[in-house]
Amino acid sequence: MTPPPGDLSKIQEILLGGTKFLLTSHARPDGDSLGSQLALGRALSQLGKDVRIVNKDQIPELYHFLPGLETIEILPETDSLVDAVVVLECSSLSRTEVSGLNSETIVNIDHHPGNTMYGTINWVDESACACTELVFELIEGLGAELTPDIATNLYVGTLTDTGSFRYSNITARTFEICRRLAETGIDLAAIAASVYTNGSIGRLRLTGRLLDRMKLEHNNQIAVLSVDSAMLQEIGCDWDDMEGIVNLPLAARNVRVSILVRETNAGLRVSLRSKTGTNVRNAALAFGGGGHINAAGLTIEKPGPKSLDTIISRIKFAISDSEE
Ligand code: AMP
Ligand code: MN
């Protein structure tokens, strides 16, 4: 889907015409949400704008190397005394989990299918591999300079949302943008090392424990990993250390879908990942969640003894529906 041509230019007009902006994204931030916000924040500051970035949740340690990270305010609510609120990489306004986002102008920039189009202006392009791809285009359109700090943030969003350039959402455009980012002189290997080879020993032990206890269903096509806070405590980890572990079972040839179940105070948080050809988004939607075709999630606030079985049944259905 190419963006309706009016939207990008309208967003540029709003950003160039105003002076004060508030940027936000979804709760439980990831590389794409942080990279998108920090890159756009820096570009707007460069243009002399007054920018605040407000997020609901603490930033996972893994992302503490991102330039400008200290500028993010962690708040459950905010005022919106700004010319526009810009919501990046967020499929619905409620997923920000920040209250008080009631500016007259809300700009919605995202790449999730099923975005609820909550903005006064919506630029939703499902064909973008990451929201950072859209932010790159926006920054260019604004005439801001692509500095190494901005490039680092954009690269991290792209690297993480494409599973290190492995998912079907990558295109020639992804690499064209990365070429431009690389030209700023950023150290691509150092960035990848910060993301992928800088975890804690606890995380490594947790990975071992989870894989050791992995359950396989449906002729080894479905892998289920389960974790609760007692396990984390015993190993000396926290929820942040879980980042990316859900993808590991997909390394096996037969596994088509990986399910990670987190038993938290807020209920069962379930992450779904699948190989190309199997759609887990519809399964997530069936339980009130959402996401992408190969990476989706849902939360069951009041789980019962059969909750997981019901999800697995729905995943079996998704597998039988897979393209061969
Ligand atoms: P996660 O497994 O939490 O990394 O999420 C994978 C994808 O699913 C992301 O694109 C999220 O935006 C989406 N997602 C996760 N949980 C939910 C939810 N409860 N509702 C809607 N989308 C979700
Ligand atoms: Mn994304």
Dump pLDDT digits (tens) for 170-194: 999 999 999 999 999 999 999 999 9
The residue to mutate among 33, 90, 91, having the most atoms of ligand 1 within 8 angstroms of its beta carbon, is: 91
CA-atom Rg of the chain in angstroms: 20
Give the per-residue pLDDT at 179.
Answer: 98
pLDDT digits (tens, 9 = 90+) for 87-117: 999 999 999 999 999 999 999 999 999 999 9
The residue to mutate among 26, 112, 259, 300, having the most atoms of ligand 1 within 8 angstroms of its beta carbon, is: 112
Q: Whose CA is nearest to atom 14 of ligand 1?
A: 297
pLDDT digits (tens, 9 = 90+) for 116-130: 999 999 999 999 999
Give the per-residue pLDDT at 123.
Answer: 97
Distance CA(198)–CA(140), nearest Å, equals 32
Q: Whose CA is nearest to atom 13 of ligand 1?
A: 291
pLDDT digits (tens, 9 = 90+) for 41-69: 999 999 999 999 999 999 999 999 999 99
Residue 195 has phi, psi (to 5 degrees) of -80, -40
pLDDT digits (tens, 9 = 90+) for 153-175: 999 999 999 999 999 899 999 99
Cα→Cα distances 9→13, 104, 139, 142, 198, Å: 6, 19, 12, 9, 40
- Ligand 1 neighbours (beta carbon < 6 A): 112, 271, 289-292, 295-299
Closest ligand 1 atom, residue 296 Cα: 8
CA atoms in the 13 A half-sphere facing the CB of 150? 24
Coil vs helix vs strand at 109? strand
Cα 281 to ligand 1 centre (Å) = 9
Distance CA(211)–CA(12), nearest Å, equals 47
Give the per-residue pLDDT at 324.
Answer: 60
Q: What are the residues facing 272 on neighbouring strands?
A: 259, 296
Mean pLDDT for the chain overall: 96
Cα 144 to ligand 1 centre (Å) = 31
Cα 287 to ligand 1 centre (Å) = 12
pLDDT digits (tens, 9 = 90+) for 14-47: 999 999 999 999 999 999 999 999 999 999 999 9
pLDDT digits (tens, 9 = 90+) for 245-269: 999 999 999 999 999 999 999 999 9
CB atoms near residue 139 (< 10 Å): 24
The residue to mutate among 271, 281, 287, having the most atoms of ligand 1 within 8 angstroms of its beta carbon, is: 271
- 311 pLDDT band (50/70/90 cuts)? very high
Give the per-residue pLDDT at 322.
Answer: 86
Please give the angle made by the CA atoms of 127, 128 and 130, to the nearest 5 degrees: 140
Say what percent of the chain tops pLDDT 70. Answer: 98
Cα 28 to ligand 1 centre (Å) = 10
Coil vs helix vs strand at 215? strand
Give the per-residue pLDDT at 2.
Answer: 56
Coil vs helix vs strand at 254? coil
Average of per-residue pLDDT across 300-321 = 96
Going by C-alpha positions, the residue among 45, 61, 62 that lies closest to residue 192 is 62
Give the per-residue pLDDT at 4.
Answer: 56
Cα 304 to ligand 2 centre (Å) = 31
Residue 105 gets which letter from DSSP? -
Question: Is residue 278 predicted with pLDDT exceeding 70?
Answer: yes
272: its two tokens: 């779904």
Read off the pTM.
Answer: 0.94
